[in-house]
Chains A and B, each alone.
Chain A
Amino acid sequence: MTARDWQKLITAAVLLGIAALLPLTGNAYWLSLGVSVAMYTVLATSWALFSGPTHYISLATAAFFGVGTYVMGSGIEVMPYWTLLPLAALAGGLLAALVGLATLRLSGVYFVIFTLGLAEMVRQCVTWYQNQTGHKGTYVLTELTEADIYWQLLGLAALVYLAGWAIQRSRLGFALRIIGDDEEVAAHSGINTALVKVALFVVSGLVAATVGAIIAPRYVYIEPATAFAPMLSFQVVIMALLGGTGRLWGPLIGVIPFTLLWEVISASFPNQTTLLLGLCFLLIVYVLPKGFVGLMQRLDLMRQGREAFA
């Protein structure tokens, strides 16, 4: 590791330490916002690990998240909490592997549609199963406080960043960038393109499922419509694109403003959220196609250009 790497690692650790102090303020509103930011950061960052380099837009976040929520919901009565987190991860990872193997040979458009349908399909299956057994939803009763949930999400965020950092510096990360640039060249260079894509999709799937499991106790009562809300998939895509997927920290700088904005929108216009979400999406794609990361790089280039002329 170089001196710069250490510097980055220490900066990240310090920021994480500061973020971990939030519950100590005792402000419930800020803490609940903090949980949202942490949750979306983990989801958007892990989403971007796969979708950033490959340009495959996955709308399966809600499916994985919901699966994790339900693993927690259906297991909490019979198993200890801590065993359910890895189980949820496993379930999300397996689902991602299956979907990946079935769809990643498809071209981008089919992939988007398939992943959108997936969340809906899993939701219908859960609903059907619950109807068979005469339930509407499931209670998730734990001793966990909002602060516990927040800290767990921060811990998961740290893991995701470390994993992302390790992947970027590995053969796997290099292979993924080559695939994103030209899949034909990747295959002809000796890269197992299907395996690489599935591997990264599995990472994003297992992380999203773990987030669902961690969040489940916060809902207290879960039902398919909330656990598999398709809105979540779109929010994650928008936040990741707003921040920019070109850097590991890109999604984070999309998540923070968007979560705050969303807080205002859902409080002031509770019936128009979908419409406003759509507008945000259009705006981002037109104004900031490469997100804040791209904007910063452009400004940087312009500054260098001016200095060169001065």
Chain B
Amino acid sequence: MRQAPVLSLRGATKRFGGLVAVDQLGFDVAEHQVMGLIGPNGSGKSTTLNLISGALSPTSGTIALKGQPITALSARAIARKGVSRTFQLVRMLPSMTVLENVMAGAVFGHRRRWGGSAEAHAIAMLEEVGMADEAGSPIGQLTYIDTKRLELARALAGEPEVLLLDEWLAGLNPTELEEGIALIHRLRDEGRTIVLVEHVMDAIRSLCDACVVMSSGKKIAEGTPEEVLSDPEVIRAYLGDDDA
């Protein structure tokens, strides 16, 4: 018998006035699976993550975590149930140190820690992303990739059942990109369940078990990276109708 998916969307729809940003979207994410959510700019990828994380509530449809509906819940409640995320535009806690930024995830997340336990856990997460040496630094001095790493550490500190990454690799230079992909590979090998929105094709090919391709809010393809990336409709969506 197949295990119930960790995350499942059914008919998820989000309207902004007349615009349907996410249109009847449905897919499942199994445990330990890395699911790529791809599609051209403005196709509704970030909005989909926002619906899952509770930043936005869907106009219609259902979203379930381990079989339980989380559709109507607040971002806070969804975070408590075990969904953590990073943001397309990095969000730091600027008045705090690196360590405190990560503790924010550990103290209020899925498993609520406090004091020494929260600190130890936060340091372990910083080690995981390779930033343990910077624990005491203020945020202002970090390089761009370090802010990305830090945000990832904060999300991991919540000990999520599902991790949502919104273009976590965007804006990195080639060396950083290699490090970044290696880092997510490690998370994958740890058996984490991840939904990642990504434009970097190499990353999608090497990281994702499966992909959902969106265009204008709709799912236009689903399958392994090789399957979807050679799908003519996907190629057309990426290149635009004029070029096809």
Residues of A near any B CB (own CB < 8 A): 171, 174-175, 177-178, 180-182, 184-193
What number of B residues sit within 8 Å (CB to CB) of A?
A: 28
| In the complex, chain B residues whose CB is within 8 Å of the CB of A174 | 103-104, 107
Q: Is B154's CB within 8 Å of the partner chain A?
A: yes
Q: Total A-B pairs in contact (CB under 8 Å)?
A: 68
Of the candidates B76, B107, B158, the one whose C-beta lies within 8 Å of that of A192 is B76
Of the candidates A175, A181, A184, the one whose C-beta lies within 8 Å of that of B108 is A175
A177 to B108, CA, bound (A): 13
Structural contact, A190 and B93, CB atoms closer than 8 A: no
CB distance from B239 to the nearest CB of A (A): 34
Of the candidates A180, A186, A190, the one whose C-beta lies within 8 Å of that of B110 is A190
Given contacts A171-B107, A174-B104, contact A189 B158 (CB under 8 A): yes
CB distance from B175 to the nearest CB of A (A): 28
Q: Is B55's CB within 8 Å of the partner chain A?
A: yes
Structural contact, B104 and A189, CB atoms closer than 8 A: yes
Given contacts A171-B114, A189-B104, contact A178 B93 (CB under 8 A): yes
Of the candidates A171, A185, A190, A192, the one whose C-beta lies within 8 Å of that of B91 is A185
Of the candidates A171, A185, A193, the one whose C-beta lies within 8 Å of that of B93 is A185
Q: Is B8's CB within 8 Å of the partner chain A?
A: no
Structural contact, A188 and B55, CB atoms closer than 8 A: yes
CB distance from A53 to the nearest CB of B (A): 9
Q: Mark B97-137, 1 if CB is under 8 A from A, else 0.
A: 00000011101111010100000000000000000000000
Q: Is B95's CB within 8 Å of the partner chain A?
A: yes
| In the complex, chain A residues whose CB is within 8 Å of the CB of B185 | none
CB distance from B58 to the nearest CB of A (A): 17
Among A174, A178, A190, max chain B CB count under 10 A is at A190
Structural contact, B108 and A190, CB atoms closer than 8 A: yes
CB distance from A55 to the nearest CB of B (A): 11
Structural contact, B109 and A190, CB atoms closer than 8 A: yes
A185 to B74, CA, bound (A): 13
Structural contact, A184 and B79, CB atoms closer than 8 A: no
| In the complex, chain B residues whose CB is within 8 Å of the CB of A186 | 104, 108
A29 to B87, CA, bound (A): 59
| In the complex, chain A residues whose CB is within 8 Å of the CB of B32 | none
Q: Is B184's CB within 8 Å of the partner chain A?
A: no
CB distance from B128 to the nearest CB of A (A): 18
A190 to B113, CA, bound (A): 12
Residue of A nearest to B77 (CB): A190
A305 to B103, CA, bound (A): 30
